[in-house]
């Protein structure tokens, strides 16, 4: 029998990026590097110029630590490796990833007999990888699992090629050579919807609040302006959600539900995410152009604030919830600047307390779901298990403060000027208390697992109560 045809004597070489894992460690390393210090971005061209791709990879590996347990391994490839090991075959991790990362992954999995990786001077991809494998196992003396155009030369050189989640070039090679194709999950419209967090766009209906409170319900120009403001904020918010996902990859992969996000599980690539983020920002800015410089300034402030929140603020005790309350309030200001309607002190004061209460609910629910030991901080946040009580107290106090501000507003001179029947809007204060207290009670019962603002907008009981409040406002303004 020809030894080269005997599976037991033929090693199986496995690529890493895009093959063993549904991601690319160069991109993930760059994101980890930026999280350590965004100024490192300036040095990336320098590292590339001095040492090429190998120099860049080495520089990243020297400055960040990789957690191999938090990577999105492909179960289909792990099954192929397990089958090869059962046959008694040698399994080799052959990757262009820096040696530090490759050896950490091999040690974590415990499935590889040897590791070939990028060293100090040579980027072990494409022909360099092919030469290394042929030097170790001879021409045609290995099987190879890969996924990209960089692997084409290895597919040609291997005894048998196995193609996993191929890019366009690898897909053409696979069809032309009828090589084995390993099926993996592919992106769908649902995947894109998750990337955009389309359900979170509901928060942006807040841009219509100033128009509603000014009783301009039937002003067609203002309606168009509100729709444009909603679309601009939705596109901008989706762009920032992608950025937030990039910096939370490791945390999301350990979360029971967030690990299914498309960047965390590798269904969508990081380069695709950057392209989508750029396109969304361009769309947001294009929509903002006809709405005037004031709206554009508010949108820019929102982008800067949310970026700062993603980079650092969300890990800061209490500053994070104050920032979230401020971001909700920015949506009100955006609606006011888009339509030219003024925003009163009363609305801003109410919004800060109301949204602060909801932001605290969000943190409270996260703490309850985390099963933390006393003294331990929730991953990626500034809170510990023993903070639940004070967060709940502060959240309830904020909700009552919002209701108090609303009650004082109802008694103000502004209300008597705006409404023909001010007494009709008195029920709004208990309505606000109902909405916020119900959210807190459901959070305490572990029956609320969504963003509280989205929950209120989509919950039918809250919808009924809010609709009743809207009818009261309408009647107070327009009934004879």
241 with 383, same domain: the answer is yes
Residue 354 sits in the same domain as residue 298: yes
Domain boundary among 140, 158, 182: 182
Domain of 106, CATH number, reads 3.40.50.1000
Whether 39 and 67 map to the same domain: the answer is yes
Q: Indicate if 287 and 355 belong to the same structural domain.
A: yes
383 and 460 share one domain: yes
* Cα(65)–Cα(259) distance, integer angstroms: 20
d(CA 64, CA 36): 8
From residue 22, give the alpha-carbon distance in Å to each of 73, 150, 406. 6, 16, 51
Structure confidence by residue, pLDDT tens digits, 397-423: 999 999 999 999 888 888 888 888 888
Mean pLDDT of all residues belonging to the chain? 89
Assess whether 143 and 229 both reside in one domain: no
- By residue range, what is the domain housing residue 85? 3-182
pLDDT at 3 over 50: no
* 147 lies in the same domain as 205: no
Residue 8 — pLDDT band, cuts 50, 70, 90? low
CB atoms within 10 A of CB 2: 6
Tally of domains within the chain: 2
Burial label for 354, CB within 10 Å (0-12, 13-18, 19+), is buried
Instruction: Please state the rounded mean pLDDT for residues 363-380.
Output: 76
User: 13: which strand partners?
Assistant: 92, 144
Share of the chain above pLDDT 70, in %: 96
State the DSSP H helix or E strand holding residue 6, giving kind and residue range, or none if neither: none
Q: Domain holding 375: CATH number?
A: 1.10.357.140
Cβ atoms 166, 174 nearer than 8 A = yes
Among 142, 164, 182, give the residue marking a domain's end: 182
Shared domain for 375 and 430, answered yes or no, is yes
| 101-149 confidence digits (pLDDT tens) | 999 999 999 999 999 998 766 888 999 999 999 999 999 999 999 999 9
Please indicate, yes or no, whether residues 55 and 72 belong to a single structural domain of this protein.
yes
pLDDT of 330 > 60? The answer is yes
Residue 1 confidence (pLDDT): 34
Residues 104-116: tens digit of each pLDDT: 999 999 999 999 9
For the segment 149-182, what is each residue's pLDDT rounded down to a tens digit?
A: 999 999 999 999 999 999 999 999 999 999 999 9
Q: Within this chain, do residues 175 and 211 fall inside the same structural domain, yes or no?
A: no
Q: What is the DSSP letter of 334?
A: H
Residues 124 and 165 in one domain: yes
Q: How far apart are CA 305 and CA 313, in angstroms?
A: 9
Domain boundary residue, one of 149, 165, 182? 182
In the predicted structure, residue 63 carries a pLDDT above the cut 70: yes
Q: Please enumerate in sequence order all residues whose Cβ is within 8 A of that of 283, keeping only pairs 6 or more positions apart, or say none.
A: 235
Q: pLDDT, tens digit, for every residue of 210-261?
A: 998 888 878 899 999 999 999 999 999 999 999 999 988 888 888 778 888 9
Rg of the chain taking only CA atoms, in angstroms: 28
> Do both 214 and 122 map to the same domain?
no
Calpha distance 135→138 (Å, rounded): 6
């Amino acid at each position: 029998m020809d030894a080269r045809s005997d599976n037991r004597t033929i090693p199986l070489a496995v690529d890493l990026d895009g093959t063993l894992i549904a991601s690319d460690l160069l991109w993930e390393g760059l994101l980890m590097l930026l999280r350590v210090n965004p100024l490192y971005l300036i040095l990336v061209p320098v590292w590339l110029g001095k040492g090429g791709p190998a120099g860049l990879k080495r520089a990243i590996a020297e400055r960040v630590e990789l957690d191999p347990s938090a990577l999105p391994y492909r179960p289909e490839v792990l099954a192929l490796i397990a089958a090869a090991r059962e046959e008694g075959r040698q399994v080799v991790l052959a990757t262009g990833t820096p040696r530090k990362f490759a050896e950490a992954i091999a040690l974590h999995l415990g499935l590889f007999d040897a590791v070939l990786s990028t060293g100090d001077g040579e980027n072990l991809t494409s022909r360099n990888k092919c030469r290394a494998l042929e030097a170790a196992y001879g021409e045609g003396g290995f099987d190879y699992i890969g996924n990209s155009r960089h692997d084409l030369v290895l597919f040609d050189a291997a005894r048998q090629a196995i193609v996993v989640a191929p890019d366009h070039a690898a897909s053409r090679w696979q069809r032309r050579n009828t090589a084995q194709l390993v099926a993996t999950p592919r992106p769908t419209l649902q995947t894109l919807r998750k990337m955009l967090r389309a359900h979170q766009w509901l928060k942006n209906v807040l841009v219509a609040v100033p128009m509603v409170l000014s009783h301009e319900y039937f002003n067609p120009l203002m309606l168009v302006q509100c729709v444009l403001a909603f679309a601009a904020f939705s596109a901008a918010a989706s762009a920032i959600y992608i950025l937030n996902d990039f910096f939370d990859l490791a945390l999301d992969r350990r979360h029971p539900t967030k690990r299914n996000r498309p960047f965390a599980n590798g269904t969508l690539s990081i380069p695709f995410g950057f392209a989508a983020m750029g396109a969304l920002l361009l769309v947001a800015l294009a929509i903002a152009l006809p709405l005037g410089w004031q709206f554009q300034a508010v949108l820019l402030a929102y982008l800067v604030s949310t970026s700062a929140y993603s980079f650092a603020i969300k890990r800061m005790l209490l500053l994070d919830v104050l920032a979230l309350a401020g971001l909700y309030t920015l949506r009100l200001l955006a609606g006011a600047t888009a339509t030219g309607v003024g925003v009163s002190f009363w609305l801003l004061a109410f919004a800060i307390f109301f949204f602060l209460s909801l932001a605290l609910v969000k943190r409270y629910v996260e703490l309850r779901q985390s099963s933390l030991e006393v003294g331990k901080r929730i991953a990626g946040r500034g809170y510990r298990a023993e903070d639940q009580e004070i967060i709940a107290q502060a959240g309830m106090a904020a909700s009552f403060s919002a209701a108090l501000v609303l009650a004082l507003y109802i008694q103000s001179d502004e209300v008597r000027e705006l409404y023909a029947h001010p007494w009709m809007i008195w029920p709004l204060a208990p309505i606000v208390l109902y909405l916020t207290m119900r959210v807190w009670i459901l959070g305490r019962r572990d029956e609320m697992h969504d963003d509280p603002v989205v929950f209120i907008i989509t919950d039918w009981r809250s919808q009924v109560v809010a609709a009743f409040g809207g009818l009261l406002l309408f009647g107070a303004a327009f009934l004879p």
